[in-house]
Amino acid sequence: LMLLLLKILSIRIRKMITDVAPYKLIDIGANLTNPCLNDRNLCDVVDRAKAAGIHPHDAKYFNDESIAELEKLALEPECVAIGECGLDFNRNFSPQENQLTAFEAQVQLACKLKKTIFIHERDAHSALVEILKKYSLIIPYAVVHCFTGTAEQAKTYLDMGLYIGLTGSLWKDKLEFGVQYALRQGIIPLNRLLVETDSPYMYPNIKAKKLQTEVKEKVSPHALQFLHHCSFQRNEPCALPTVVELIAAFSGASVDDVAINTTLNAVLMVFTNEGLLINSSNVIGLPCTVTFSSSSSSTNSSSLSSSLASVLS
């Protein structure tokens, strides 16, 4: 009976998501001149939701005209977020001062347009937090994209209201108190989590020797079969089921809980700036009304609440 109810729930959630979100995939970055994007798949890539931003690697090219041009792109209906932007003090392909200037300008733009921010951060946690705190009262939703930091850093971001994005790089976390630890300790809750591919990078190498056997055994053949369509050199969105099951294995949550929550987080945060938590194991006992954390959205919140209440009833 529970399996039947979960199947019905899944169908109704898919319909609700289709009604709310006009796009199934969101591209945070795409190099349209890359030879991998041939004529066969280029149209599919273009027909997606998009983010507009200046990556910290390119911050050295930022100038007085950049924000005006970026705002034009951000106002296009397909653009749902500002990013990928942020700070990368690890590789430093752009001077740190340029990175700081470009990032803060994009945070200001996101606040002005009320767009979600997708943040890139490497070895720049303190500097990033310092900038974001200036806008803590007006900042829209923000995601720390492809998070690879410590559990303490994750907690700081979460306390600030940010979301955490995880990719296939989860398998190679080397930190004693890193992402795997944060998931095991429940530091990153499901209602603040998103899954990403960061394609063509961050392939979830499930066969790696360093990955614990008990984790490998929890990844289903169903998820693994999708990995046949990508490789270590070219990751693809079809690897997301494996990322979801890795998160479930480390966190102890069910695969259904991870899949449902991260999907709804993405849809509600990017397309409506709202969020909630669903526990599939207790779905029958959930109330038939849903309270959202924000109503500042172009989408009708009451109709969305009704749709979700219907899903949960």
pLDDT band at 8 (very low <50, low <70, confident <90, very high): low
Tell me what the mean pLDDT of segment 203-223 comes to. 92
Q: Which residue has the higher pLDDT, 28 or 247?
A: 247
Token pair, residue 47, equals: 């027909």
DSSP string, 31-46: -TT-TTS-HHHHHHHH
As given in the structure block, the two tokens for residue 5 are 């109810």
Q: Where is mean pLDDT largest: 138-147, 264-273, 290-299?
A: 138-147
What b/e string do you get for 262-295 counting C-beta neighbours within 10 Å, with b at 16 or more?
bbbbbbbbbbbbbbbebbbeebeebeeebebeee
* Lowest-confidence segment of 41-50, 119-128, 200-209, 227-236 by average pLDDT: 41-50
**Highest mean pLDDT out of 70-79, 118-127, 204-213:** 118-127
Q: Cα(257)–Cα(251) distance, rounded to whole angstroms?
A: 11
Q: What is the CATH number of domain 2-8+42-283?
A: 3.20.20.140
* Encoded tokens for 255: 């695969």
Could you state, in order of their start, the residue ranges of all structural domains in the chain?
2-8+42-283
Q: What is the mean pLDDT of residues 257-274?
A: 79
pLDDT of residue 78: 82
- Asked whether the bond before 152 is cis by omega within 30 degrees of 0, the reply is no
Q: Is the pLDDT of residue 194 over 50?
A: yes
pLDDT band of 301, cuts 50, 70, 90? very low
Which range is least confidently modeled, 14-23, 69-78, 213-222, 272-281? 272-281
Dihedral in degrees, nearest 10, Cα atoms 269, 271, 272, 273: 30
Mean pLDDT to the nearest integer, 210-239: 90
Whole-number average pLDDT of the chain: 80
Whole-number pLDDT of residue 212: 92
- For residues 182 and 152, the answer to whether their CB atoms sit within 8 Å is no
Statement: residue 298 has pLDDT above 50: no
Residue 135's Cα: distance from chain center in Å?
21
Tokens for 258, please give them.
């991870």
Three-state DSSP class for 144? strand
Residue at 295: amino acid letter: S
Of the candidates 207, 282, 206, 273, the one whose C-alpha atom is nearest the C-alpha of residue 246 is 206
Q: Write down how long the chain is.
A: 313
Q: In angstroms, rounded to a whole number, what is the distance separating the alpha carbons of residues 287 and 184?
A: 28
Return the residue matching tokens 């070895």.
Answer: 123
pLDDT of the residue at 280: 39
The average pLDDT across 30-38 equals 60
Residue appearing with tokens 């849809």: 267
**Structure confidence by residue, pLDDT tens digits, 161-184:** 999 999 999 999 999 999 999 999
pLDDT in tens, 43-91: 665 667 788 999 999 999 999 899 999 999 999 988 889 999 999 999 9
User: Would you place residue 303 in the very low, low, confident or very high pLDDT band (cuts 50, 70, 90)?
Assistant: very low
d(CA 154, CA 297): 27
Higher-pLDDT residue of 8 and 198 is: 198
Q: Is the pLDDT of residue 255 over 60?
A: yes
Q: Is the pLDDT of residue 20 over 80?
A: no
pLDDT of residue 233: 84
Whether 116 contacts 81, CB under 8 Å: yes
